[in-house]
A and B are shown apart, each in its own frame.
Chain A
């Protein structure tokens, strides 16, 4: 007796796929294609004059030294935020995974910052480190350290990195903790019986078994630093001083939304899109090979 149902005709499977396809088309491909189209146009803010100019927006963009500077800034900012937020979250997660009395409280406290909106997170950090208002800025200055994120690019970068890392640790922590709890105790106990110390057990057992989580978080964090951090940058430094914290996505926002240069901004977002697609592809192609599921 045949029990599995077979549907005849080709229409039904497609019909079942339609809702998903429509959502993908409307919310992903349509806006993306609009951005690509816009990047070939020169248009005033009101859309009254629109002229097809081919690759002129891209040429103008690639002739700007500031654009390359924004790229370099993005590399520095992204690597710092991704590396710091992942490693600190992993450290916290391994600590919270221990059988401690306060572990539940600790876990809850760790997750809180994720609920804070990026702009609010930025403002919080700004209040702590603002050169004339900040509660931490005064002690720094009293110690003879000339803390001045208003004019010193490195200080400003440190400030936005701290805020962005702080915000992301909670998310990473949650996933790392779940990943750690999924690692079978028996494997770790076997290692312990064979004489492996905690340090060795972590690097030869826990870390490799955690690699699917780490890989997932790497992808998510890269997307986070590329796209979601501009609220923090906007609130804390506004891209300054002298463009020291203008990342690529912040430049898209500044040129397009604040400056009304829609074509140039669209060209930037197309380049940004290509970079992120390439990065994600590389991650899946090469880094994923090292992942043990």
Chain B
């Protein structure tokens, strides 16, 4: 009767021994929100890192949409079980950086771990978004994109438009011609209602979204996007919405398919739409920089980024931090960055990776992937175009979208809508300022 039990115990013990190798491997939990092809990239990066050394093991876990992932991270922190690395979308930046103690700034992490780290190696247009005003990097940029205008070249030919529209007046003219040429339900449109019409629009025209360098210099920022230029643009959209020369496409990017299906021949959305466009569009297409008003001095300025970055959570062991630092160095490697950029369409985060891709002649074959980089590096960023950092950004965007929808639906004028968006937004910023002391 003893033998089977003994055998079982031996088996158990040997399994345990197999599971824990001679030296302990430190596990690093990485929670992310990447789906589809991007999910595979995340898993491959982790697998490559794990194969490259034997002390640390990065374990990626998919946690749902961007807001889901962020909330999962926050809830886990409150329960004392936060992951080591949390992927947070750009609008969550202010919330994360105000949570002192909950996060460990990346520059601090690299210093403590003794990893070689020079912030000047990274593209400032990208890291500026995730750094303090002193240039200290708080989170590690992972997938960055910017907003571009996608153009259906076959449609332009059909409407006899010889040159791709560059300025807003040209876009309006072009959209009217396209509408007459059979694109009756949508001459031009955009995804991400506020990202396109408020955030990118302001940076691209070098006008402030808010004071204090769009909030980068302090939480006591006030919104400013009810300027005459903003009002003029929204009022034009209201007029064009009436006969669907412009047609609203919602707050997020679910309606990107309107470009791929051929419904909207001019469509502004993220440069990260590339992979989907390539897979779905049955026509010749390209991407160009966002349109601008030529009568605005200095326009176009530079665009700002979107996407997500990796935040390191606080309260972990020094050894674990060391592993995270090693992983970030691994991600910054020039060859790896260049490859990641060329395969996924994400922007490269280091200057070297950008230069290498250029030198390889990659952009000659794939000019579409260079469009966002041209936009981001178009000019030296100003106070108005370095980035933006507003607390409660998710709610702010919802408020702004509501007002834009009210204007396009004909319930408000552009001036009324933007004034209300600003005053409601300011009230929200004051609440955030009180919690973020």
A interface residues with partner B (beta carbon < 8 Å)? 42-49, 51, 60, 66, 132-133, 141, 150-153, 238-243, 254-255, 257-261, 264
B interface residues with partner A (beta carbon < 8 Å)? 67, 71, 74, 77-78, 95, 98-102, 185-186, 241, 248-252, 255, 257-258, 261, 263, 392, 394-395, 398, 401-403, 405-406, 408-409, 411, 424, 427, 431, 434-437
Most chain B CB neighbours (cut-off 10 Å) among A133, A238, A240, A260: A260
Residues of chain A lying within 8 A (CB to CB) of residue B77: 46-47
Do A151 and B78 touch across chains, with their CB atoms under 8 A apart?
no
Residues of chain A lying within 8 A (CB to CB) of residue B437: 49
Do B249 and A150 touch across chains, with their CB atoms under 8 A apart?
yes
Do A151 and B241 touch across chains, with their CB atoms under 8 A apart?
yes
Residues of chain B lying within 8 A (CB to CB) of residue A241: 402, 405-406, 409
A60 to B251, CA, bound (A): 26
Indicate whether A259 sits within 8 Å of B394 (C-beta atoms), given known contacts A44-B98, A46-B102, A151-B405: yes
A97 to B398, CA, bound (A): 48
A-B contact pairs, 20 of them (CB 8 A): A44-B436, A46-B74, A46-B78, A47-B77, A48-B100, A132-B257, A132-B261, A141-B185, A151-B408, A153-B409, A238-B251, A240-B401, A240-B405, A241-B405, A241-B406, A257-B67, A257-B71, A259-B392, A260-B395, A264-B431
Do B95 and A45 touch across chains, with their CB atoms under 8 A apart?
yes
Residues of chain A lying within 8 A (CB to CB) of residue B67: 257-258
Q: How far is the CB of A35 from chain B (nearest CB, A)?
A: 16
Q: Main secondary structure on chain B at its contact with chain A?
A: helix
Residues of chain A lying within 8 A (CB to CB) of residue B98: 44
Residues of chain B lying within 8 A (CB to CB) of residue A60: 427, 431
A93 to B250, CA, bound (A): 39
Indicate whether A259 sits within 8 Å of B251 (C-beta atoms), given known contacts A45-B95, A48-B100, A242-B402: no
- Select which of A132, A151, A152, A242 is within 8 A of B263 by beta carbon: A132
Do A242 and B403 touch across chains, with their CB atoms under 8 A apart?
yes
A43-B435, A48-B99, A132-B255 known; 9 new pairs, CB 8 Å cut-off, are A47-B77, A60-B427, A66-B424, A242-B405, A242-B406, A257-B67, A259-B394, A260-B392, A260-B394
Do B431 and A48 touch across chains, with their CB atoms under 8 A apart?
no
Q: How far is the CB of A180 from chain B (nearest CB, A)?
A: 43
Q: Which 5 residue pairs of A and B lie closest in terms of their CB atoms, listed nearest first?
A: A259-B395, A241-B405, A242-B406, A242-B405, A151-B409
Do B402 and A42 touch across chains, with their CB atoms under 8 A apart?
no
Q: How far is the CB of A16 from chain B (nearest CB, A)?
A: 34
A48 to B437, CA, bound (A): 11
Q: How far is the CB of B339 from chain A (nearest CB, A)?
A: 35
Residues of chain A lying within 8 A (CB to CB) of residue B78: 46-47
- Select which of B99, B241, B402 is within 8 A of A45 by beta carbon: B99
Residues of chain A lying within 8 A (CB to CB) of residue B186: 132
Q: How far is the CB of B281 from chain A (nearest CB, A)?
A: 15
Residues of chain A lying within 8 A (CB to CB) of residue B408: 151
Do A242 and B411 touch across chains, with their CB atoms under 8 A apart?
yes
Do B395 and A258 touch across chains, with their CB atoms under 8 A apart?
yes
A25 to B402, CA, bound (A): 40
Residues of chain B lying within 8 A (CB to CB) of residue A42: 431, 434-435
A243 to B411, CA, bound (A): 12
- Select which of B95, B427, B434 is within 8 A of A260 by beta carbon: B95
A60 to B261, CA, bound (A): 45
Residues of chain B lying within 8 A (CB to CB) of residue A45: 74, 95, 99
